[in-house]
Amino acid sequence: MLRAALFLTACSAAALSPRQQPSAPNPSSDEVRPLVWGDLNFLHTTDTHGWLAGHLLENEFSGDWGDFVAFTESMRAIATSNDQDLLLIDTGDRHDGNGLSDATPVNGNLSLPIFCKVDYDVVTVGNHELYTGATALQEYNTVRTHFGDKYIVSNVEVLDNDEWRDLGAKYRLFQTANQNKTILAFGFLFNFEGNDKSYTRVTKVEDEIQKEWFQELLNNLDSVDYIVLAGHIPVRGWPEFRTILNAIRRVNPTIPVHMFGGHSHVRDYVIYDDNAVALQSGRYVETLGWASSNFTSDADADAESGASATFSRSYIDFNRRTMLQHCNCQLKSEKGQSITAEIAKIRSELELDTYLSYVPQTYYMDRAPYPSEDSIYSLLESVLQTLVSPKEVVAKGNTRFVFLNTGAVRFDLFKGPYTKDTTFILSPFRNKWFYIDDVPLEYAEQVLLLLNGYNKVLLQANSRFAGAHYLSDLKNADQSGVSMHAPTFGYVTEDDLDDMGDDTVHRAWLFYDVPNAIQSVTNRRTANTTLVFHNFMQYYILEALFLISESDGSQFEVKAHGGADITELVSDYFNTHNKHNEHHSR
């Protein structure tokens, strides 16, 4: 049975001011559920994507990396005082999504050293570290060098000085500081094929675990108390974790295995068997995952199930107020304060607050139905009309279809200043426009239907999250007696345990399905059309045309179109259409 939960009193609002970024809003006063501590505890981050400054326009996620460092120091002190252990885990994707990471010539040059200031016990790689050779080598030379054997990458190699080397340690075997438990840790990437193959090699999980090094470890588990399986892999619905667990279970049916996942940007917790669970901790420094385990002696093990450990989990909203309540402290940390100041300094040097335009209302990706006036995709249908075509395209006078994959958009667009930072948050990928001329109208009008028939492949473009896994109804979000006011809206997560894992009591956000792609079409109709699209979509556009035309597609010639990228188009659109811009000058 787990030890009694540590219930901590709320800290005063005045205590919120010393850190977090100066422009970040303070969080709400919603009730915060206490964490459950065990013999072995974990704090988990994943898919941070450069959001180390926190969310400057969202109060529930307004903590920054300095706050997190201070929190980990305080929580480790609590663990030590109670003769418990606390391990810190990160499961990858540290690039692409925020100006702090993306506004430098090489993505991550300034953000990665800040990321490395957390004293992690296990760090592994994500697919966003492998899209280019530059970021892969940066990962090898910066993150691996800093964390040493704590940087664990079990199935990826990198080309270094003309020699293929393991990107990180294959595994780590270590003792916990207080309980003296022997931990065996792995770090796997899903079966990723979009890497820069000139610089990196990804071995499929099912092939890697057949290798001698892994099999030898499986045959020597007698001295291991607990397996930590970190992976940039969704915990639900993807085969890789199950493949690894099955290999472990063939040699040891009961050893506790805790998996930590990522990639699909959701809060989730999956129970694989009586002794194996998996936690996934959201995205973008919105969520700090918490997990705990208690060890059960052989004499106390469940005779029927063979359970040798018990488990718990929480999803912490990433802000100072929740951290203060969970550690019952002031988060006073010179290191944390220094990191907060460093982030602010870098943001200033990168001029991330440079004003470009003004967003008159908030537009949502999947928290508003599409189409609707609050949908970012409905907005973009209007924005795409403003893309300027080259003279030779205009001269033909064809009906123009402009396509955009919804995966090109990374985040909601909040009311307020549209800044340099916003451009990276909205869409960090500077895709190029291409076009195909003289496509028959009857073909063009079928393309979107086929694009939206693909199995969400375009929604996941550039590793965009695959969809939300959150509870949509409100039945448990506003319970009588738990608060003096109606909770604010936020995450209410339904997982394999229950819908009480979110530490902060919220009314549930509603999430809506979105299409794979959208289109913007000129009003006039001509017999022939021009199709315009991002380079990422070229394969799918051509595939659709091949199917529609029932031909080899040789008549469809792809040409460079040029023009402003989507972030520039949005800024220009608001500058042209926003009547309030004159009131929001620099």
Gyration radius of the chain's alpha carbons: 25
pLDDT single digits (tens) 53-65: 999 999 999 999 9
pLDDT at 495 over 60: yes
Domain ranges, residue 259: 34-349
pLDDT score of 24: 61
> Would you say residue 174 has pLDDT above 60?
yes
Closest by alpha carbon to 278, among 473, 3, 91, 465?
91
Cross-strand partners of 156: 202
Residue with tokens 């006063």: 29
- How far apart (Å, rounded) are the C-alpha atoms in residues 246 and 206? 11
The mean pLDDT value for 271-300 works out to 91
What would you measure as the largest C-alpha separation in the chain, in angstroms? 83
Q: Determine the residue type at 251.
A: V
Give the pLDDT confidence score for residue 553 in this predicted structure: 81
Question: What single-letter amino acid sits at 68?
Answer: F
Q: What is the pLDDT of residue 430?
A: 86
Mean per-residue pLDDT, 167-180: 99
Per-residue pLDDT, 290: 99
pLDDT at 67: 97
The encoded tokens of residue 162 equal: 């003309």
Distance CA 491, CA 289 (A): 13
The tokens for 339 are: 């990191």
Q: Does 6 reside within a domain? A: no
Measure the CA–CA gap between 130 and 79, rounded to whole angstroms.
35
Instruction: Using the predicted structure, report yes or no on whether residue 544 has a pLDDT greater than 80.
Output: yes
Whether pLDDT at 480 is above 60: no
Please give the average per-residue pLDDT across 482-504, as a whole number. 83
State the pLDDT confidence band at 29, using cuts at 50, 70 and 90: low
Residue 13: pLDDT band with limits 50, 70, 90: very low
The pLDDT, as a whole number, for residue 486 is 61
Kindly report the backbone phi and psi dihedral angles of residue 336, in degrees, each rounded to the nearest multiple of 5, phi listed first.
Answer: -65, -45
Q: Is the pLDDT of residue 521 over 60?
A: yes
- Both 344 and 373 in a single domain? no
d(CA 214, CA 559): 48
H/E/C letters for each residue in 470-528?
CCCCCCCCCCCCCCCCCCCEECCCCCCCCCCCECECCEECCCCCCCCEEEEECCCCCCE
Structure token pair of residue 530: 């021009």
Q: Which residue bears the tokens 């979110």?
A: 502
pLDDT higher than 70, residue 466 = no
Same domain, 180 and 59: yes
User: What's the pLDDT score for residue 26?
Assistant: 62
Task: Return the pLDDT at 30.
Answer: 76
- In tens, the pLDDT along 178-211 reads 999 999 999 999 999 999 999 999 999 999 999 9
Q: What is the pLDDT of residue 304?
A: 56
382 falls within a domain: yes
Per cent of the chain over pLDDT 90 is: 82
Residue 19 placed within a domain: no
198 vs 9, higher pLDDT: 198
Average confidence (pLDDT) over 505-518: 96
Same domain, 169 and 238: yes
Q: Is residue 166 part of a domain?
A: yes
Q: Categorize the per-residue pLDDT at 330 as very low, low, confident or very high, splitting at 50, 70 and 90.
A: confident
Res. 295 pLDDT band, cuts 50 70 90: confident
Same structural domain, 532 and 408: yes
Which residues, including other chains, have CB under 8 Å from residue 503's CB and lie 6 or more apart?
32, 33, 35, 290, 314, 315, 316, 317, 322, 326
pLDDT score of 477 more than 50:
no
Q: 391-402, pLDDT tens digit by residue?
A: 999 999 999 999
Instruction: Look at the pTM and tell me if it is higher than 0.95.
Output: no
Instruction: Return the half-sphere exposure (C-beta side, CA atoms, 13 A cut-off) of residue 475.
Output: 6
Within a domain: residue 4?
A: no
User: Do 381 and 282 have their domain in common?
Assistant: no
Considering 349, 370, 397, which residue would you say is the last residue of a domain?
349
Grouping H, G, I as helix, E, B as strand and the rest as coil, residue 201 is strand
pLDDT-derived band at 374 (thresholds 50, 70, 90) equals: very high
Looking at residues 350-373, what average pLDDT do you find?
98
Residue 376 has pLDDT above 80, yes or no: yes
pLDDT band for position 144 (cuts 50, 70, 90)? very high
In this structure, the answer to whether residues 384 and 249 fall within a common structural domain is no
| Residue 338 sits in the same domain as residue 446 | no
Do 378 and 332 fall into the same domain? no
Q: What whole-number distance in Å separates Cα of residue 456 and Cα of residue 255?
A: 36
What angle, rounded to 10 degrees, do the helices at 65-81 and 334-349 form? Answer: 160
Residue whose C-alpha is closest to residue 465's, from 12, 49, 85:
49
Beta strand spans in 319-455 (E)? 355-359, 399-405, 416-419, 433-440
314 and 361 part of one domain: no
How far are the Cα atoms of 413, 516, 535 from residue 365, in angstroms, in the given order? 8, 12, 22
User: Which pLDDT does position 8 carry in this prediction?
Assistant: 26
3 state DSSP class of 391: helix
575 has pLDDT over 90: yes
What letter does residue 143 receive in the DSSP assignment? I
* Residue 519's CATH number: 3.90.780.10
Q: Is residue 213 part of a domain?
A: yes
Q: Which of the pair, 202 or 13, is modelled with greater confidence?
A: 202
- Report whether 496 contacts 534 (CB < 8 A): no
Flag whether 542 is in a domain. yes
What beta strand segments (E) does 382-423 contain? Answer: 399-405, 416-419
Beta-carbon contacts of 194 under 8 Å, excluding residues fewer than 6 positions away, are 127, 130, 131, 463
Residue type, 264: S
The first and second tokens of residue 174, run together, are: 């270590």
Distance CA 146, CA 140 (A): 10
CATH number reported for the structural domain that contains residue 297 in this entry:
3.60.21.10
My answer on whether 317 and 396 are in the same domain is: no
Q: Report if residue 22 sits inside a domain.
A: no
Out of 328, 349, 370, pick the residue that ends a domain.
Answer: 349
My answer on whether 423 and 564 are in the same domain is: yes
Q: pLDDT value at position 487?
A: 84
Torsion angles phi and psi, residue 337, rounded to 5: -65, -40
One domain, residues 416 and 552: yes
If pLDDT is split at 50, 70 and 90, which confidence band does 527 have? very high
Q: Model confidence at 19, in pLDDT bands (50, 70, 90)? A: low
Q: What is the mean pLDDT of the chain?
A: 89
Total domains present in the chain: 2
